[in-house]
Amino acid sequence: MATLDETPCCGVQFIDMIDDSPESVLVDVCEKKYNENNDWDEYAEPLLQAFLIFTDNVSDNNFGEELADYITKHKLGGVKASRQRRNPNTDNMIRVWIWSPNERNLKAWYRKHN
């Protein structure tokens, strides 16, 4: 199950545990962003971020690339990828993606897939 983790900046959060289908990851993210915070109450404020970050060990799988491609294909916001680089802590090759969600499209996608 994907999770949303806080960072010191309120406008940036980290998506962790992306080792599932892009649809499952996005449903998990949307549940954290919308349901847990306002249950679609028009007066409550959802959890909005300017950017969401996710990473992946590109040596082992392509979950990150699949998620980025899915976000782009479904017009859920802009995604930028870093170059892959060796993690000196684990020796894995990792990549970082920065996603700027399109909240209107993401909410519509979530309503359809929830």
Q: What domain count does the chain have? A: 1
- Higher model confidence: residue 46 or residue 15? 15
Give the residue numbers spanning the domain of 18: 3-113
Better-scored residue on pLDDT, 107 or 37? 107
pLDDT higher for 73 or 7? Answer: 73
Residues listed for the chain: 114
CB atoms near residue 89 (< 10 Å): 7
Predicted local confidence at residue 35, as pLDDT? 72
Average pLDDT over residues 15-42: 82
State which H helix or E strand residue 97 sits in: strand 93-101
Q: How far apart are CA 70 and CA 35, in angstroms?
A: 22
d(CA 16, CA 54): 7
**Mean pLDDT for the stretch of residues 46-71:** 92
pLDDT score, position 37: 53
Percentage with pLDDT > 70 across the chain: 90
Nearest to 26 by CA among 82, 99, 95: 99
Identify the band that residue 41 occupies on the pLDDT scale cut at 50, 70 and 90.
Answer: low
